[in-house]
Chains A and B, each alone.
Chain A
Amino acid sequence: MRARPLLGLAALLAFLALLDAAAPRLLNPYYVTILSRIGIAVIAAVSLQLVNGFTGQFSIGHAGFMAIGAYASAALSVFAGAALLEAAAQLVPLPLARFLYFPVALIFGGLVAAVAGIVVAVPALRLRGDYLAIATLGAGEIIRIAILNIDAVGGARGFSLASPAHPAIDLRFEGLGGVLAVALLTIGAIARLVYSGGGLAFRAVREDETAAESIGVATTRVKVEAFLVASFFAGVAGALFAHSEGYIHTNSFGFVRSFELVAFVVLGGLGSLSGAILAAATLTALPELLRGLGEWRMILYSLLLIATMLLRPQGLLGQRELWPISRLARGAK
């Protein structure tokens, strides 16, 4: 009984490790980059879906938390990464130390973003609807401009992961296995969260706050929790982005990026994780697929967005999921 999930996990890890090693040999770097950007977009979209789709709080500043995760983890790598690796290399072989550094950097980026998430959420969640949306948009921009003015992380020049003190040590993560593993973990964690008794509290807040309070749901706390978890995973996505690209600039985390994430969750269907995954993957790949059309591609991209919203205002999947977990929880015996 207990062996089966462990076996599955081992098989999955083996597959991801293989993929990590094989991808750069089988695929040209362009495809590897696109696939890893899809993975990152999926993580960010799924985490935003928790706030916008499941808790019903409309946030449009999610890229700000990605920026914090990206810069915090990049700063860790540049300023302390080499020292951490040297210390770890005393105990374990260097390749293993590098492998272990991967989750450390991601969790660090996530935690810093989560702290920022709470700082923004506590005052902002007193607002509702449009007012909340504008406040989160403002918070995202404040974060971006604040980072732009910190000279230690490059300011307007951008921030490169190559550490000037230790040019020999490269802390970038290449390959796809890591991104995919983190994306799967994120989807799993958020699916567990929203399709459990605990997740019903999020959805109860979305449906009717007065009724939710009347059955004992501390609505403010639930909203802050959603924001906290979402900004953590946005930070992880940002950290992945920083370490797979090797160079970051605040321009990557502006409101255009935030709106793109909102488009993923709305187009996928507010309240559907599979919808957010599908939309994030499609809309990240689409501009690349349309590249042959030259300057027409952004026009076609926009027209596709408009057409989808006209034909399916509830999003691609509405509130449905493509996997069976929700059917069981929803009341089938």
Chain B
Amino acid sequence: MSLLEIRGLSVRFGGLTAVSRVDFDVEEGSLVALIGPNGAGKTTAFNVITGVYAPSEGSVRFADREIGGAAPHRISALGIARTFQNIRLFRSLTALENVRAALQGARRSGVLDVLRPARWRARELDAARQAHDLLDALALGAFAAARADSLPYGEQRRLEIARALATHPKLLLLDEPAAGMNPAEKQALRELIRRLRSEHRLTIVLIDHDVSFVMNLSDRVVVLDHGEKIADGPPERVRRDPQVIEAYLGSDAEGAA
């Protein structure tokens, strides 16, 4: 069954069409890569799925519910979490607080808790323990009390993933998680994604520029170019697709000359 179903999705900003009549499905438990050159509409597609933008046309269905145009916090509550291309951490909060902020149950407390210290303390300790566990799972335990903006770049990327996981998502959207990483770091990230996928039984959609990063990782690759879907299939086939090669390298005529 498809967890996410996108049909005839178009997004227009004034005269500019960023995404044009795109269809694709994400099967439950699969890992789909969304690739394409700069400006292909990948991040725009993510922004529509997470409610940052409303679709101009078409539908976005998640777990058999239409979510196109819903508020981002409602979509998060339904089980979609994401990371951002240009890291968006809560910069002056600590790593632990970044994760704790995303723990849904931990957010239910209020002014009247001043009158119920024991209950408050128990709930706070439980939330802190959950957050510490998530940080440990992403090898961030040592940074728990450090300000988010003081973390090294790779750790900031992992902290964003930890924060996303704290919402207990069914579907995780990773927007260029490998951006700015060297080959060794990319390899470590691939292993991390594989591990998280099996441990949390996640369905993942990830964006990258480049088909080689997602070759051995994804079950399916969807290629966007100028807002349109130009290929969709297993990574091996997509890599040999002439249209994809053309989108990345220019047409044969230019290349062969």
CB of B143, distance to nearest CB on chain A (Å) = 8
94-143 of chain B: CB within 8 A of chain A? 94-97, 100-114, 117-118, 120, 123-124, 127-128, 132
Whether A213 contacts B76 by the Cβ 8 Å rule is: yes
Whether A207 contacts B91 by the Cβ 8 Å rule is: yes
Whether A210 contacts B102 by the Cβ 8 Å rule is: no
| CB of B167 closer than 8 Å to a CB of A | yes
Give the complex CA separation of A329 and B111 in angstroms. Answer: 17
What is the size, in residues, of chain B's interface with A at 8 Å between Cβ atoms? 51
| CB of A93 closer than 8 Å to a CB of B | no
Whether A331 contacts B111 by the Cβ 8 Å rule is: no
| A212 surroundings in chain B (CB, below 8 A) | 90, 101
Whether A331 contacts B88 by the Cβ 8 Å rule is: no
- The 0/1 profile, CB within 8 Å of B marked 1, for residues 206-237 of chain A is 01101111111111000000000100000000
Of the candidates B81, B91, B113, B114, the one whose C-beta lies within 8 Å of that of A185 is: B114
| CB of A313 closer than 8 Å to a CB of B | no
Give the complex CA separation of A196 and B120 in angstroms. Answer: 8
| B96 surroundings in chain A (CB, below 8 A) | 330-331
Whether A216 contacts B167 by the Cβ 8 Å rule is: yes
Whether A207 contacts B114 by the Cβ 8 Å rule is: no
Give the complex CA separation of A46 and B223 in angstroms. Answer: 53
**Which of A22-30, A75-83, A145-153, A186-194 has 4 or more CB atoms under 8 Å from chain B?**
A186-194
| CB of B92 closer than 8 Å to a CB of A | yes
CB of B171, distance to nearest CB on chain A (Å) = 13
**Which of A59-67, A197-205, A242-250, A276-284 has 4 or more CB atoms under 8 Å from chain B?**
A197-205
Give the complex CA separation of A327 and B94 in angstroms. Answer: 10
| A199 surroundings in chain B (CB, below 8 A) | 109
| A216 surroundings in chain B (CB, below 8 A) | 73, 76-77, 102, 104, 167
| A331 surroundings in chain B (CB, below 8 A) | 94-97, 144-146
Give the complex CA separation of A333 and B96 in angstroms. Answer: 10
| CB of B89 closer than 8 Å to a CB of A | yes
| A328 surroundings in chain B (CB, below 8 A) | 128
Whether B109 contacts A197 by the Cβ 8 Å rule is: yes
Whether B50 contacts A208 by the Cβ 8 Å rule is: no
Q: If the complex has contacts A213-B71, A213-B76, A215-B101, are A189 and B90 also in contact, measured as CB distance less than 8 A?
A: no
CB of B38, distance to nearest CB on chain A (Å) = 21
CB of B86, distance to nearest CB on chain A (Å) = 11
Give the complex CA separation of A193 and B112 in angstroms. Answer: 9
Q: If the complex has contacts A192-B113, A211-B84, A211-B89, are A200 and B97 also in contact, measured as CB distance less than 8 A?
A: yes
What is the size, in residues, of chain A's interface with B at 8 Å between Cβ atoms? 39
| B229 surroundings in chain A (CB, below 8 A) | none
Whether B88 contacts A210 by the Cβ 8 Å rule is: yes
Q: If the complex has contacts A193-B111, A197-B107, A201-B101, are A215 and B76 also in contact, measured as CB distance less than 8 A?
A: yes
| CB of B174 closer than 8 Å to a CB of A | no
CB of A210, distance to nearest CB on chain B (Å) = 6
Whether B92 contacts A2 by the Cβ 8 Å rule is: no
Give the complex CA separation of A200 and B76 in angstroms. Answer: 17
Of the candidates B95, B111, B117, the one whose C-beta lies within 8 Å of that of A190 is: B111
Whether B107 contacts A200 by the Cβ 8 Å rule is: yes
| CB of B163 closer than 8 Å to a CB of A | yes
CB of A186, distance to nearest CB on chain B (Å) = 9
Give the complex CA separation of A207 and B148 in angstroms. Answer: 11
| CB of A7 closer than 8 Å to a CB of B | no
Residue of A193, A203, A204, A332 ringed by the most chain B CB atoms within 10 A: A204
Give the complex CA separation of A189 and B117 in angstroms. Answer: 11
| CB of B164 closer than 8 Å to a CB of A | yes
Q: If the complex has contacts A185-B114, A319-B92, are A218 and B104 also in contact, measured as CB distance less than 8 A?
A: no
| B114 surroundings in chain A (CB, below 8 A) | 185, 188-189, 192
Q: If the complex has contacts A213-B71, A214-B82, are A197 and B106 also in contact, measured as CB distance less than 8 A?
A: yes
CB of B114, distance to nearest CB on chain A (Å) = 4
| B230 surroundings in chain A (CB, below 8 A) | none
| CB of A292 closer than 8 Å to a CB of B | no
Of the candidates A2, A197, A333, the one whose C-beta lies within 8 Å of that of B118 is: A2
Q: Offer 16 A-B interface pairs, CB within 8 angstroms, sorted by A.
A: A192-B120, A193-B111, A196-B120, A197-B101, A203-B90, A204-B93, A208-B88, A211-B89, A211-B90, A213-B73, A213-B76, A214-B76, A214-B81, A217-B101, A219-B73, A333-B132
Which residues of B are interface residues toward A (Cβ below 8 A)?
Answer: 50-52, 71-73, 76-77, 81-82, 84, 88-97, 100-114, 117-118, 120, 123-124, 127-128, 132, 144-146, 163-164, 166-167
Report the 3 A-B pairs with minimum CB-CB distance, sorted nearest first.
A197-B106, A331-B96, A331-B145
Q: Knowing that A214-B50, A217-B101, A218-B73 are A-B contacts, what are 14 other residue pairs whose CB atoms are under 8 Å apart, sorted by A's residue number?
A: A197-B127, A198-B108, A198-B110, A200-B100, A204-B93, A211-B89, A213-B51, A213-B76, A214-B72, A215-B102, A216-B76, A219-B73, A329-B100, A330-B94
Which residues of A are interface residues toward B (Cβ below 8 A)?
Answer: 1-2, 5, 185, 188-190, 192-193, 196-201, 203-204, 207-208, 210-219, 229, 271, 319, 327-333
